[in-house]
Structure 1
Amino acid sequence: MSATLDVPVIQAPHEVDRPGSRQQKEVTRLLPTWLLGVVIAALCAFVLLPLLYIFLASVNSDLSVARGDFWPEAFTFENYSKIWTSVGLANGLANSVVVAGSTAVVSAALAVATAYVLVRYEFRGRLTMLRGLLALQSIPGTLLLLPVFVLYSSAATYLKIQIIGTHWGLFLTYLTFALPFSTWVMVTYLRGLPKELEEAARIDGASNLGILTRIILPLSWPGIIVSGIFAFLLGWNDVLFASIMTRPESQTAAVALQIFATSTEGGAVPYYGQMMASALVCAAPVVILYLFFQKYLVGGLTAGGVK
């Protein structure tokens, strides 16, 4: 007599949609595939078509651009060779790199140290300083143009310190506006770093300066680069303060372009080709900077968004 055992058949459970799986992507997609492609193509055309026109105008003659011709009759790169003498772009680019670059480096360095103190230490006035950083972002820079100019002029009159017309005077001006934003970016980033790493370093005998230089700085490169790039853009794109606070030998590239465009408006045929070529040359360093630090920008801008 043999006994039979009924073994229950265990059915395989249904596959659970994991985060990022194909099933979940199809469920959470807001737009159909074809409509998403149309939207992306429209956005790319919105950005790239003006750039294409600027490039075609830079390799075209001034008369053809003035007539409204989109496609050049003959491609020429003479405009790119003329801008170094007619616009004075070499001196302007050098001044912009010095002022904007120093502003980015110093602003990022000070922002890391300031944000570390505001995030990791409790002291009286800490919340007031954090709120003050946000309040400073709401003040338009045009309102501070006259006070800053009067302050620097008074320094030259009473203290015999010449600030207006110098590189470091423009550097101090940009640092004043860049430091609050850079500090707030670093505050948001440092809040996401685990405190356990610092506690372990303290147990091993590391000082506050050692923790900042050996632990915080290596982990904070995305936030540092984001704050530095925004400070660099502040100094690179500014025209208002640079036109008031500089002399011909210390003018930035933005001021050189403005002066060249203003001086050629009254002519029979404005130098449109040289203007477009100058604009592309001035935009190239910023584009290269974004492409080089793209991976750090994504991490730095999204830091603190998910806890």
Structure 2
Amino acid sequence: MSATLDVPAIGAPHTVDRPGSRQQSEVTRLLPTWLLAFVVAALCAFILVPMLYVFLASLNNDLSVARGDFWPETFSLENYAKIWTSVGLANGLMNSVIVAGLTAVVSAMLAVATAYVLVRYEFRGRLTMLRGLLGLQSIPGTLLVLPVFVLYASAATALGIQIIGTYWGLFLTYLTFALPFSTWVMVTYLRGLPRELEEAARIDGASNMGILTKIILPLSWPGIIVSAIFAFLLGWNDVLFASVMTRPETQTAAVALQIFATSTESGAVPYYGQMMASALVCAAPVVLLYLFFQRYLVGGLTAGGVK
């Protein structure tokens, strides 16, 4: 009995399904082309139409916005000039950048070191700590406002140190919530890094700190950027803790917007144009942050999915 193998002749053309090829895309595509285009267009419209309305309303007068006019009769940048005095947005933006930026940097750096220990070393309580990182994400922040406030007030009475109303008091509050999530992001990312690089460094005489600073950190920038951005957003968007833990000199942009919106509700016509302009100005730094670190975000979010 003999078996025959169909071997293509030398020089005969053959096809290979490479990533991004037409054959592979036709196989892996879940939706027809027309339906995929419709879904993408619908999602873009769902996002862009409200943003366009906010932008046009910021260029319109308050009475026209109150009437429900979508397109302004006259375009004016007057609202953008007024928000710096009426809303007090400059001080709020500066405070938000200081607190949220410091939270992002510190939580990302601590998360790298913590995740490296949890991933590369075996010790008692390691799994408990990993499960605790996930469990802490399920605790609503509203349940912790009063305990944190009482803790800070008691510490101020016992130690004579003012915490409530200061930058570093708000920073500690945000770091408490940002660090578990940042650590879990870095744990997922570091699991995908090859151990061979660290073993080669140990053979060359590198210490644990040298491996962390010279090998782990340079290879972990996508994960660091992701954890830092999410920690930054936590401090940037928070209103609950910032409204309790700050005073007028240290209030963030989110609190300034909330106070301005509440104070104008009693008027005949609220300052809709200034509200829309303030919202766009506060959203601009976050949008620019996402656009600037977009390639790091894609790599950091997808890390650990395929090994």
- Identify whether the pair has TM-score above 0.5, normalized to the shorter chain: yes
Instruction: Note closer, same or farther for the CA distance 1:62–1:198 as it changes in structure 2 (3 Å cut).
Output: same
User: For residues 85 and 38 of structure 1, what CA distance do their matches in structure 2 show?
Assistant: 44
TM-score, normalised to structure 2, is: 0.96
CA RMSD of aligned residues (A): 1.3
The residue that corresponds to 1:83 in the other structure is 83
Aligned-partner SS, 1:270 = coil
Instruction: Note closer, same or farther for the CA distance 1:132–1:98 as it changes in structure 2 (3 Å cut).
Output: same
User: For residues 30 and 201 of structure 1, what CA distance do their matches in structure 2 show?
Assistant: 45
The residue that corresponds to 1:3 in the other structure is none
The residue that corresponds to 1:5 in the other structure is none
Higher mean C-alpha displacement, 12-21 vs 94-103: 12-21
**Residue 48 of structure 1: CA displacement?**
0.3
**Residue 97 of structure 1: CA displacement?**
0.2
User: For residues 134 and 61 of structure 1, what CA distance do their matches in structure 2 show?
Assistant: 47
Please tell me the residue identity of whatever aligns with 1:135: G
Structure 2 runs not aligned, ≥5 long: 1-6
**Residue 13 of structure 1: CA displacement?**
7.2
The residue that corresponds to 2:245 in the other structure is 245
Instruction: Note closer, same or farther for the CA distance 1:198–1:266 as it changes in structure 2 (3 Å cut).
Output: same
Question: Is the aligned partner of 1:117 residue 2:117?
Answer: yes
The residue that corresponds to 2:189 in the other structure is 189
User: For residues 19 and 267 of structure 1, what CA distance do their matches in structure 2 show?
Assistant: 60
User: For residues 284 and 236 of structure 1, what CA distance do their matches in structure 2 show?
Assistant: 12
Please tell me the residue identity of whatever aligns with 2:293: F
Please tell me the residue identity of whatever aligns with 1:50: P
Report how many aligned residue pairs link the two structures: 300
**Residue 63 of structure 1: CA displacement?**
0.8
Please tell me the residue identity of whatever aligns with 1:185: V
Structure 1 runs not aligned, ≥5 long: 1-7
TM-score, normalised to structure 1, is: 0.96
The residue that corresponds to 1:32 in the other structure is 32
User: For residues 16 and 279 of structure 2, what CA distance do their matches in structure 1 show?
Assistant: 53
Please tell me the residue identity of whatever aligns with 2:54: I
The residue that corresponds to 2:274 in the other structure is 274
Aligned-partner SS, 1:248 = coil
The residue that corresponds to 1:210 in the other structure is 210
Deviation sequence 1:126-185 (CA, Å, 0-9, x none): 111111101101111111111000000001111111100000000000000000000000
Question: Is the aligned partner of 1:297 residue 2:270?
Answer: no
The residue that corresponds to 1:58 in the other structure is 58
**Residue 34 of structure 1: CA displacement?**
1.4
The residue that corresponds to 1:100 in the other structure is 100
Please tell me the residue identity of whatever aligns with 1:233: L
User: For residues 16 and 104 of structure 2, what CA distance do their matches in structure 1 show?
Assistant: 48
Please identify runs of 4+ aligned residues in structure 1 that moved more than 6 A: none
Please tell me the residue identity of whatever aligns with 1:209: M
Aligned-partner SS, 1:38 = helix
Please tell me the residue identity of whatever aligns with 1:111: A
User: For residues 291 and 208 of structure 1, what CA distance do their matches in structure 2 show?
Assistant: 35
User: For residues 14 and 219 of structure 1, what CA distance do their matches in structure 2 show?
Assistant: 38
